[in-house]
């Protein structure tokens, strides 16, 4: 009997979490593929303000063929920073079907306040931003001007 109350409380808390997760925290990223030349990346799609804000923060690893694609409704100059990031990345600025610029080996800034984080600006208006493991753009020979094919699932 003395274990019954903690089990009931745990059940209530678990149920509350599931309701919150399913109805208020739309945490599921869409999936897609980004192809640049012969290189294919499986990506999570960050297509709303909450997903974009969360981005890759909190992840402690990114495989060589994974990434996150940030999508926007229109092309504009974009600004990214490394808030909450634990891993270094390459940032690829994409507009239309073309890479327009790359920030290579962008490092996390642990312990730096949001106001002091380094800001990375797209070199031109872009509609998409792809984050991949640090050094992959160089390793694969990806450069500005390369053609990009984005496939949403």
For residue 145, give the 3-state DSSP assignment. Answer: coil
Domains belonging to the chain, first-starting first, are 27-152 (2.60.120.1140)
Alpha carbon separation from 90 to 21, 99, 106 (Å, rounded): 30, 13, 6
Per-residue pLDDT at 3 exceeds 90: no
Tell me the pLDDT tens digit for each residue of 78-114. 999 999 999 999 999 999 999 999 999 999 999 999 8
Instruction: Give the percent of the chain with pLDDT over 70.
Output: 82
**What is the pLDDT, as a whole number, of residue 5?**
61
Average pLDDT score over the chain: 88
HSE toward the beta carbon, residue 110, CA cutoff 13 A: 5
Tell me the pLDDT tens digit for each residue of 9-65. 545 655 444 444 444 444 589 999 999 999 999 999 999 999 999 999 888 999 999
pTM, entire model: 0.82
DSSP state of 87: S
Residue pair 131/90 in contact (Cβ under 8 Å)? The answer is: yes
């Amino acid at each position: 009997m003395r274990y019954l109350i903690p089990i009931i409380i745990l059940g209530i808390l678990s149920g509350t979490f599931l309701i919150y997760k399913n109805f208020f925290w739309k945490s599921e990223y869409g999936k897609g593929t980004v192809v640049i030349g012969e290189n294919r990346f499986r990506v999570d799609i960050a297509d709303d303000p909450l997903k974009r804000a969360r981005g890759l923060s909190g992840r402690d690893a990114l495989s060589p063929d994974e990434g996150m694609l940030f999508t926007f409704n229109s092309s504009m100059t974009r600004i990214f920073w490394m808030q909450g990031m634990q891993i270094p990345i390459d940032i690829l600025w994409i507009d239309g079907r073309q890479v327009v610029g790359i920030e290579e080996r962008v490092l996390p800034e642990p312990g730096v306040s949001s106001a002091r984080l380094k800001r990375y600006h797209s070199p031109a208006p872009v509609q998409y931003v792809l984050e991949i493991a640090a050094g992959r753009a160089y390793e694969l020979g990806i450069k500005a001007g390369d053609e990009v094919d984005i496939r949403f699932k």
